[in-house]
Structure formats: C-alpha cells, structure tokens
Amino acid sequence: DVKVTQSSRYLVKRTGEKVFLECVQDMDHENMFWYRQDPGLGLRLIYFSYDVKMKEKGDIPEGYSVSREKKERFSLILESASTNQTSMYLCASSVSRGAKETQYFGPGTRLLVL
Amino acid sequence: DQQVKQNSPSLSVQEGRISILNCDYTNSMFDYFLWYKKYPAEGPTFLISISSIKDKNEDGRFTVFLNKSAKHLSLHIVPSQPGDSAVYFCAARDITSGTYKYIFGTGTRLKVLA
C-alpha cells in the first residue's frame, strides 16, 4: 500500500513565523503535490514537483515555497506565516502510468496561524 | 474562475437508493477525470477515474459517466450505503501547460441515511 505521511496533524503558529510542513512518501513516486483545502473552495494546488530539485507553481503559490532535495520528501515552507494561511494542507504523490495516474494523499496538516 | 464545478454542496440519499454526484468543467483540454472521497480528518482517497476517450467506467457499486459534449461527468453509487457518507471531489487533469496538473472541484457532501 502506498503511504504518504505528513509531519504534523495539527500546528499552531504565530503571524510572521517560518513554518515547515514535511511530506514523505514510500513508493518511489516521481510526482508530489501540495494543496490547501478551504471550505467552499475545494482543493487548490500550491506547488508540485516532477523530480528531485524540480518545482512548478500551482494556482496559489504566493506566500509559499517548496523544497525537494530527495525523491521521497517534499517540503512546503511558509516564509512568514499570515492568518490567511490558516487552512488544511494536503500532500499527495503519484506515479505516471501512461494515460492513468492516481494521486495518493496524506492525512493532512491543519494549520492555525494566530 | 472555477474550471471544475460541483454545484451541489450537499446531497442526502436513503440507504439502498442511487446517489448521483455531478461535476461540470470548462476546459476541453482536460484528458482525465477522477473522483475522490474524503472522510473528516483524513486525506482524500481515490475512488474511480475515466479517460476522456471513454464515456463510462464501472467499478463495483461506482460508475462514472463522461459527457464530453456537455463537459459534464457524474458519479453514480448504487446501492448507497451509510459508509458512503463523505465529501466527494471530482478532479480533472490539465495537460495544457506541458506538465500534468490537477484541478479539483469544491466538493459535494453526501449523506446516506439509514
């Protein structure tokens, strides 16, 4: 079974703090993604990566950065947390299999920025 | 601008009856569609998918229908069971940028009544 783990289930941070969210997958997947989920807005893509050291901006990258130094690990960084970054953060990984590709999600990190 | 829309935020269905969840999209370049199911405090889990070259895919109680001319897909669950109560997200794969990116709808909360 594919396993995607996220470093924390719940986090409380203060405005202006630097926040690191870690995601690890154990299936040697090439592709990794960070989303945030907000009520009424669904899942929105922040950043994704198709290989080590590669990153692509998603739909809402502002205020975030990412790091992928190893294939199994994809980190999301909030350089200076703000209250509007309070959200549920979901990491996903996938492997491309021709026309079919399925994303596997971690359990999520609920971040509260005060 | 929402490219993938789930216009019904919630749906209630009696146990044993059919649940129909709908999803509309605007981009004719989407080539692959997926449905995910999400329980509270968990990440989404993959349910079923369909390629844009097909109009139907079935897996047990779950069937996805794709109507490309109407840019509409639907998920049918027959028969519905109380364990199906969850939030359902449809997602579409966008290949226009040269890299694969997934666009999610806002979700429909399904409640199956015993």
CATH classification at residue B91: 2.60.40.10
**Interchain pair B104, A48: CB under 8 A:** no
Contacts of B40 (CB under 8 A, 6+ apart): none
Length of chain A: 114
Q: Which whole number is the average pLDDT over A26-30?
A: 90
Confidence label for B63 from pLDDT (cuts 50, 70 and 90): very high
- Report the percent of chain A where pLDDT is more than 90: 75
The helix/strand/coil state of A61 is coil
Could you tell me whether strands B10-14 and B108-113 are parallel, antiparallel, or unpaired per DSSP bridges?
A: parallel
**Interchain pair A108, B41: CB under 8 A:** yes
Q: How far is B105 from chain A (nearest CA, A)?
A: 6
pLDDT in tens, A47-103: 999 889 999 999 899 999 999 999 999 999 999 999 999 999 999 998 775 556 788
**Interchain pair B41, A107: CB under 8 A:** yes
Ramachandran sector of residue A53 (left: φ over 0; alpha: ψ -120 to 50; beta: rest) = left
**Interchain pair A42, B107: CB under 8 A:** yes
For A32, other C-beta atoms within 10 Å of its C-beta total 27
From residue B4, give the alpha-carbon distance in Å to each of A22, A82, A103, B7, B8: 28, 28, 17, 10, 12
Q: Is the pLDDT of residue A1 over 90?
A: no
Return the pLDDT at B64.
97
Q: Is the pLDDT of residue B101 over 90?
A: no
Strand partners, B50: B33
- Which of B4, B100, B103 has its CB closest to that of A101? B100
Return the pLDDT at B15.
97
Query: Which residue in A43, A74, A33 sits closest to B89, CA to CA?
Result: A43
Mean pLDDT of chain A: 92
Is domain A4-95 annotated with CATH 2.60.40.10? yes
Q: Are A55 and A48 in contact (CB under 8 A)?
A: yes
pLDDT in tens, B5-55: 999 999 999 999 999 999 999 988 898 999 999 998 889 999 999 999 999
Which candidate in B51, B106, B108, B109 is best for mutational testing of the A interface (most A CBs within 10 A)? B106
Number of domains in chain B: 1
Confidence label for B98 from pLDDT (cuts 50, 70 and 90): low
Which candidate in B47, B102, B109 is best for mutational testing of the A interface (most A CBs within 10 A)? B102
Q: Are B106 and B91 in contact (CB under 8 A)?
A: no
For B112, other C-beta atoms within 10 Å of its C-beta total 21
From residue B71, give the alpha-carbon distance in Å to each of A39, A63, B111: 25, 33, 26
Partners of residue B101 in chain A, C-beta under 8 Å: 45, 48, 56, 58
**Interchain pair A44, B104: CB under 8 A:** yes
Q: Which whole number is the average pLDDT over B74-81?
A: 97
Q: Which whole number is the average pLDDT over A19-23?
A: 97
Confidence label for B97 from pLDDT (cuts 50, 70 and 90): low
The helix/strand/coil state of B105 is coil
Tell me how far apart the alpha carbons of residues A60 and B11 are, in angstroms, rounded to a whole number: 29
Q: How far is B69 from chain A (nearest CA, A)?
A: 21
From residue A52, give the alpha-carbon distance in Å to each of A2, A72, B104: 19, 9, 25
E-strand stretches of B60-107? 62-67, 72-77, 86-94, 101-104
Partners of residue B9 in chain A, C-beta under 8 Å: 40
Query: Which residue in A111, A99, A92 sits closest to A43, CA to CA?
Result: A92
Query: Which residue in B62, B77, B72, B59 sits closest to B33, CA to CA?
Result: B72
Confidence label for B95 from pLDDT (cuts 50, 70 and 90): confident
**Interchain pair A42, B104: CB under 8 A:** yes
State which residues form the domain around B30. Answer: 4-113
